[in-house]
Structure 1
C-alpha cells in the first residue's frame, strides 16, 4: 500500500512542478532524459478527463458504465491526434521560421506536459456534476486552456532554444493565422 501512496505523491509533486515552474521542470526533464513522461501524463490526464466527461453524460442519460469508458478512449485518441498535429505545426514553425534546433519527437513529448492544467478541467467537471456551476466550470476550462498554451510554449522554447515569445508564436500565433487564412479562403470559395 505504501508503494501506491509513494507513486501518487511523486505524481502530485511532479504535476505541481510543471504547473508552477514549467521552464525549470522541462530543463530537468531534458537533463534526465525523461521526456516520455510528458506523453504518459498527457494520456493519463486525457483518459481521466474523458472518463469524467463520460460521467456527466452518464448522469444525464442513466447509462452508467458505457459512457465513461467510451469517452475515456475517444477523448484520449482525439487528444493524442490533436497533440501530434499541434506539435508538428509548432515544430515546423519553430524550425523553419525561427531557426529552432529541437527534434519533432521531443517536441511532441514535452508538449505532452501541457496536459498538466487538465486538473482544472477535471475540477471543473466535478463542480459541474456536484454543484451545477456552469459559469465557474466554464471559467476553469478557459484558465485550463490558457495555462496549457503557456506550458506548450515553454516546452517549445526549451526544446528549440528560441525564447518564449517566438515559441508562443510557434504554438499559437502562426497556427492561428493559418487557420484564419484557411477559413477566409473557404469563405471566398463558397
Structure 2
C-alpha cells in the first residue's frame, strides 16, 4: 500500500493501518541511504539510472520470498493470506489504483509468487508500463541472472541491519 499512498496519511485511518504505512515509508528512507543497498544498485547497469533502486527493491523482494523461512516462523503463504485479509478489511480506504489491483494480487498471490523468477520478470514488465517505458526494466532481468549471487549476498547482509532498524522504529512508535 505504501507505493500507492502519497502525501499526508488521513487522520481518520485506523491506527494499525497508519503504522504499517509509516513503517513502509521508514523502510524506503532507510534503503535510500543504506550502503549495502547502494552497493546492490551499483551492480546494475548504469543505463537504468535512478530506476536501479526500484530494481533492487524488486530483487530483494524476490530474495525475501525465496528465503522467507530464514526470517519468519510463519509460512509465507499464511503471511500473504493475512496481508490480503487486512487489505480487504480496509478496502474502502485504499487508493483507487490499489483497489483495482487487489483482486489480481490475491488471485495470483503476488506476495508468495515473488519467489519465482518468471514472476519477477512480469513484475518488471508491469513496472516498465507504469513508468511509461522510460526505462527498459525488463532488460534488468539479465542483471538479476548475471549478478544474482552477489545481489543475494548483499540482501543477506542487508536484512539483519534493516530488521534491527525497523524493530527500533516499532518500539519507538509503540511508546509514542
**TM-score bracket for this pair, using the shorter chain length:** 0.3 to 0.5
Give 1 or 2 for the bigger CA radius of gyration: 1
Please give the TM-score of this superposition, normalised by the length of structure 2: 0.34
Higher relative contact order (CA 8 A, sep 6+): 2
Structure with greater helix percent: 1
